[in-house]
């Protein structure tokens, strides 16, 4: 008898194009996981509403994100790739879990403080309760593991706290998710300020490599990447953050170690190194870009994938939602 696969859950917000930070830090690794896990990957459009969106661009961006997921290798026949907003159970469970989450817990969330500073003119309740919706996302699918970086660990911890609190009152309703500890993706930093994480919302266009950037743009951005006054390609995050970041990018694609990269560029200047990194990134992204363009034109195929996967996600989510609703005493719908 075949052993049942554990469930893995993750997703990205449906705003702007993805960066190589998103790709090397998460998406590239997701592609390798569908043989080992039953995977659910969401286009997290509800989360995106904490910031005001242009409706037309927002819908287009969500579809582009879906197409990029598939183009990068997330086969919608092997994985459940779906729209968060198409499964109402996310919002329904989020409200229930809001009633089991304490203000003090949400006040401690560092992302709320960071985003409040960035969007001081729009500090809304959704931004504050964002971690509860994220908890609902994860718990709906009886998730075993969640791939998280350091900046998301706090969200997984509050998810676990909410789930354990609920289970302690009502019994075994939610599976308590663990952090995915595997081959961790690289933390890719800004090309213009290597002390900051690369961000798709960075105002400096030269700081970020988008998955949709063409070869000339990629190479130009890498040529302009901030390094240091030294000329030696050497891994030293503290003293040479720019060079170390480029080495991380190069290593993530080629699989070469820091020692191997240092040896490869021994005696060569930063110009040669930057060009090599740019060409390597462009070569990695070229087939993804071709498939992405093809998928955007194949509306029928993408629509079919969305419909099929939305239904699959809803089936799993609704099973958990019905159980939670029954436990708290909500009246079941008469069908």
How far CA 133 is from CA of 49, 94, 156, 217, 303, in Å, comes to 12, 5, 12, 37, 26
The CA distance from 211 to 22, in Å, is 9
Dihedral sign from CA coordinates of 30, 32, 37, 39: positive
Active-site residue, from 175, 200, 223, 312: 200
Catalytic residue flag (residue 115): yes
Active-site residue, from 4, 64, 196, 197: 197
DSSP, residue by residue, 154-219: HHHHHHHHHHHHHHHHHSS-S---EE--SSPPP-PBPSS-TTSB--TT-S-GGG--BTT--HHHHH
Burial pattern 133-169, b for ≥16 Cβ within 10 A else e, equals: bbbbbbbbbbbbbbbbeeebeebbebbbbbbebbeee
> Hey, how many other C-beta atoms are within 10 angstroms of the C-beta on 177?
23
Q: Which of the 8 DSSP states describes residue 19?
A: B
Active-site residue, from 28, 77, 78, 115: 115
The CA distance from 82 to 11, in Å, is 9
Catalytic residue flag (residue 118): no
The CA distance from 136 to 127, in Å, is 15
Catalytic residue flag (residue 223): no
Taken as a whole, the chain contains a residue count of: 335
The CA distance from 125 to 123, in Å, is 7
The CA distance from 131 to 201, in Å, is 21
Q: Terminal CA-to-CA distance of the chain, rounded, Å? A: 36
Output helix, strand, coil percentages for the chain, rounded to the nearest 5. 55, 10, 35
- The residues annotated with a catalytic role in the active site are 115, 197, 200
């Amino acid at each position: 008898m075949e052993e049942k696969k554990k469930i893995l859950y993750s997703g990205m917000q449906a705003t702007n194009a993805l960066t190589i930070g998103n790709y090397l830090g998460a998406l590239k690794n997701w592609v390798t996981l569908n043989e080992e896990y039953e995977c659910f990957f969401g286009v997290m459009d509800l989360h995106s509403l904490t910031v005001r969106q242009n409706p037309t661009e927002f819908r287009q961006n969500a579809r582009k994100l879906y197409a990029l997921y598939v183009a990068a290798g997330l086969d919608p026949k092997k994985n459940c790739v779906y729209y968060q907003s198409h499964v109402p159970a996310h919002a329904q469970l989020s409200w229930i879990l809001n009633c089991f989450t304490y203000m003090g817990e949400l006040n401690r969330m560092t992302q709320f403080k960071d985003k409040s500073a960035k969007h001081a003119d729009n500090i809304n309740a959704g931004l504050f309760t964002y971690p509860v919706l994220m908890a609902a996302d994860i718990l709906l699918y009886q998730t075993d593991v969640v791939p998280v970086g350091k900046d998301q660990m706090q969200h997984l911890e509050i998810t676990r706290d909410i789930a354990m609190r609920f289970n302690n009152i009502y019994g075994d309703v939610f599976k308590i998710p663990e952090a995915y500890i595997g081959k961790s993706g690289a933390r890719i930093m800004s090309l213009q300020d290597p002390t900051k994480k690369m961000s798709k919302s960075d105002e400096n266009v030269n700081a970020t490599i988008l998955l949709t950037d063409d070869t000339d743009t990629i190479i130009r951005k890498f040529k302009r990447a901030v390094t240091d006054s030294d000329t030696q390609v050497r891994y030293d995050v503290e003293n040479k953050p720019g060079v170390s970041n480029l080495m991380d990018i190069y290593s993530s694609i080629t699989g070469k170690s820091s020692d191997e990269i240092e040896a490869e560029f021994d005696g060569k200047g930063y110009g040669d190194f930057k060009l090599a990194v740019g060409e390597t990134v462009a070569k990695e992204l070229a087939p993804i870009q071709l498939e992405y363009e093809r998928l955007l034109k194949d509306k029928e195929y993408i629509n079919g994938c969305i419909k099929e996967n939305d239904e699959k996600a809803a089936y799993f989510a609704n099973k958990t939602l019905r159980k939670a609703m029954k436990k708290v005493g909500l009246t079941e719908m008469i069908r």
